[in-house]
Structure 1
């Protein structure tokens, strides 16, 4: 790929990490495959994700700025890159925008060869995990768009210790394992020379401090599970299986990091009067035998109120008519689908004497001898 990472995200070359993250979130909202109609949405989403990962990692961004886009990409295809920006020999290969390319292992490469230089991204507070839930709406709500309340049970920062894992004012001392640095370093002699690996201190979990007391509410985790009632906006035209993203409503991140998102999978309930296929709706409308023979104007119910439908003379039972722009709104696009009406001619179950005589004369005029008691209306239905 020859697209510059800054251009992909639409930011300047001196953009801050916060500006880069915000630009990435905009791209996610625009190109996430769950919500975008762009035929290249998945590829654009992958490009934005890769650009964000490189530009928010200090060492990778420095190398990217120093080497330029094409040389940087080529170096990653060949293998690890040394601290002067020259490609070290290797045979990793792969697609930097795919799931199996070298960017997935970039931090491990830096930790192995350069003592965890690329691992700083790991030592930054981690963003909270995304959570998933489901929500059912009826067809009218999907047609109009609506705000719905949902209740989720999710992890939240402990209110007693504010997520620290220990009560306020708890005595503390410097972690003896890492001497307050929050990291430990191991040095090994290998055929390639002395190699060092820096990892987060397991004893203090990267804080550099040991606390004498843990919070009794959360057991020192800083996290409790609570029920939360949220309001989600359902856009007009949404379909079953589509997912809405509520930014920041997922699990809490580590101290200083943003929360994850809540992903709401929407299910649109079946409707007793309408079937749905994409943006189009289908319904059935009964008409009488005279209406089908002579034609008539009938009222048809839609999700937006009743409308008139012209039934022409000689309409056959099962014939389909189209009411344009009376279907579902097109999600994130202009216009609506259509409503298709299948006309069903209804045969009366009983007739008075006058009606019976009229239909007998009608049948006789067509040259048929009708035995009323042996299925008169079945013959009429077969004729028409």
Structure 2
């Protein structure tokens, strides 16, 4: 397998904190999202950004990756597993499965480093047996599947399985697959939410950062906003400032056990579009003349 420099992919330094990682991820995911990007190779770049953030956002995964990176590998170098495999002595023991064909489309490098412990053969591959004989693995589930309650495909020990995700399932809850562990035992999938390029989770609520133009914030506008249930129209009040939060009721994750559905919180991010033509630059010049040099004090 070939080494990947996840820090370089996200454009951050190895010492970057959680907030910096999140900001870089949001910016690049928005830039390369297949639904909006017209750049060549956008889909592959989007996958690479998603994989890099998935690896670095979790402290345990990041620690394991940093230990490997400290051995001096460069992007594209052939990686040699340490003695005992990646989960061997002195390493981090992961039991992890990612949703989607081929473990969520992640590279061989990612799967070897983080995803082998759920029954893959090879050096260092370990499973964690429970007291009842079941094998436990973490299961990173897409938010869309949690919202709708639907089957997702996972790869376990080289086999593809369709796993039905209960609607509104919470992190830490488990899905039992009878007889699907290596050796014929039960496989217990402990749910965690996969990173999403457009949404963050706060309990049952979903947070989405929405870029708006200065004139939309100043004058008000009605814009299309993505939600887990599909795009909806949102009215932005006039005189809105960066950081203002608007609420879409019932557009978050489903409530369970009689609890109400969560909301989607839309946080406004005011961005100035780049002027690419003379007409657009002239429009900015007129704005400068209209607002003058004292606009900051105002």
TM-score (norm 2): 0.47
Higher Cα radius of gyration:
1
